[in-house]
Amino acid sequence: MKKSLLLTVCCVMLAFGLRAQIPALERIEPMFWWAGMANPNLQLIVHGNNIASRQVQLSYPGVKLVAVHKVENSNYLFIDLKLFSGIVPGTFPIKFVKKGEKDLTYSYSIKARNHDANRIQGVTNKDLIYLLMPDRFSNGDPGNDTKTGMLEQGVNRDSMYARHGGDIQGLMNHLDYLKDLGVTAVWMTPEIENDEPHASYHGYAVTDYYKIDPRYGTNELYKQYVEKCHAMGLKVIKDLVHNHIGTESYLIKDMPMKSWVHQWPKYTNSNFRDMAVEDPHGSALDKKIMLDGWFDHRMADLDETNPYVQNYLTQNHIWWVEYAGIDGFRLDTYPYNDAAYMAKWAQDVTKEFPRLSIFGETLVWSVANQAFFVQGDKVNRGFDTHLPGVTDGVVKDAIIETLNGKESWTDGVNRLYAVLAQDFLYADPTKNTIFLDNHDMSRFLSTVHEDYAKYKSGMAMLLTLRGVPQLYYGDEILMKGESNPDGLVREDFAGGWKGDKANKFTAAGRNEKENDAFNYVRKLANYRKNTTALQTGKLMQFIPQKGIYVYFRYDDKKSVMMVYNSNEKEASTTTDYFAERINGAKKAKNVISDETINLDKLTIPGKSTLILELLPATK
């Protein structure tokens, strides 16, 4: 606590105490912009030693200097520009003039916008997302492992919290592996600069919003990565953090104003209770601590009611989409953000990029809690959040309970049935991202106690239920680990580093069971990729009976039947009860084994799942 309090106090003091160390014109952000954006307004943030003492001059056809804002810290100016329609791309000088001193000049560029309609594709329920941590996936360029001047130096793969050296080039080297697996969209944890002294490999303590962390690569390499993904038929999701910022950012070490972050008399963590935001009977103090408390002593909580903060974040996110052509955003710690701003943010970014997809991390404990944050009026929040979907942690928990729990009226196999029955609370539940684990929780295989039958059943549910499925790196090759401490679920992907004893990217480097798991996931993922019923088809589920849970995904092309046996021992069921969806079919193809079976009676091993494509009834 003492360390945290000292850091908070230092942040406030540093906001006005670094002038002697700052160049006269340190930076302008965004560094450049584009002609023809839907929003003609642009706000530049200028940082430099006592830059507010200078006058701003610029002249370029189609650009109007609307206002220059001076704030508490004289090391900042905020410049409002308006870019008129028809502006011709080009470069012009912005001058910072002070009598008796040499002019400071920045050459600002307005670039031509990319109007390729297919460039930004969006991520939908037709996709399978692969989540990875770039530091832990593959080291494609050992030359960037250490960068002079950064606070954390070197790599140490024996330490779970040190950097291990994975990078963007390493991911690019293995895109063919993901393509073969059946993946259609790639999500990296944040790849922008996290220049913190320790354990910043995860990416969620941003120190430079406009710069790829040099230990991962460069901005240009990131753009090439997106282009390579698109050329291979893969989409790209970028992970965003609205709520907090790394304390080593220039925006914290030399804050524009005290209200850039939430200030407290002493260091105050968030209470991490989403209910404080949702509760109609709740305490105002509890809600304030939830929203305004810091996420961590190295993650300062941004004040998103500050219009300068809003402009800065929104423009940065728009900048990355236009610059690199990414397809979707995952929004970290969504419930901790200012709700009004996030609704406006969603409107602003989708106005520029209508096909861009967004989904928010919620990790709450009930369907109602999740639905509270999504778009529409199914849950009475009082306004539309414009958030299409969330990371569906409630479905994840229900799948785990279905696999591990003992059957009762609401538990065991009945939990998943009950959770899906509440989909009426969402404007569109198919836009939720469903998953079995991620970088913040125990790996799925460990959660099911390394029971291989449960593992396969969980993977079957992930790839056949409604929503957008997300697979965590290494789950397809049976990586395991508990989340306490969290570093145990962030191990390196074997084979991603030169000299690794085994290369799990290849069949030859995997053992028999790992290959069986990989082939199972690949078979089902590629079947899903070619089966619209599992992508956009309707879902019909039946009340579990004697521990057997049956649901269907179907459209006018195919019907796929999933049968899960939650019992420890083999069980059988007749199919008469499901006639409404079987619709006269007598036979089905086992999607995994490709064998044809009769539908009159099904026998399922304990804790196992059958995935059956119904074959048309013959006359």
Segment holding 15, helix H or strand E:
none
Residue 377 DSSP one-character state: S
> 255 is written with which tokens?
């804050």
Say how far apart CA 594 and CA 64 lie, in whole Å: 66
Q: Is 361 a catalytic residue?
A: yes
> 425 is written with which tokens?
């609370």
Say how far apart CA 240 and CA 363 lie, in whole Å: 16
Say how far apart CA 388 and CA 356 lie, in whole Å: 11
DSSP string, 421-433: TTGGGSS-GGGSE
DSSP string, 167-201: -HHHHHHTHHHHHHHT--EEEESP-EE---SSS-T
Sign of CA dihedral 375, 234, 500, 216: negative
Quote the strand ranges of 153-296, DSSP E: 185-188, 192-193, 208-212, 235-240, 244-246
Return the closest-CA partner of residue 320 out of 209, 193, 231. 209
Judge residue 173's burial from the number of C-beta atoms within 10 Å of its C-beta, 0-12 exposed, 13-18 middle, 19 or more buried: middle
> 3 is written with which tokens?
């360390």
Pair 415, 394: CB distance under 8 Å: no
> 408 is written with which tokens?
């009762």
Say how far apart CA 587 and CA 598 lie, in whole Å: 5
Judged by phi (left if over 0) then psi (alpha if -120 to 50, else beta), residue 277 lies in alpha
Strand arrangement of the beta sheet that strand 32-34 belongs to:
32-34, 104-111, 90-97, 55-58
Pair 180, 525: CB distance under 8 Å: no
Catalytic residue among 361, 476, 491, 613: 361
Cα torsion through 336, 337, 339, 344, rounded to 10: -160
Q: 482-494: buried (b, 16+ CB within 10 Å) or exposed (e) per residue?
A: ebeebbebbbbbb
Catalytic residue among 196, 332, 514, 613: 332
Provide the annotated active-site residues.
332, 361
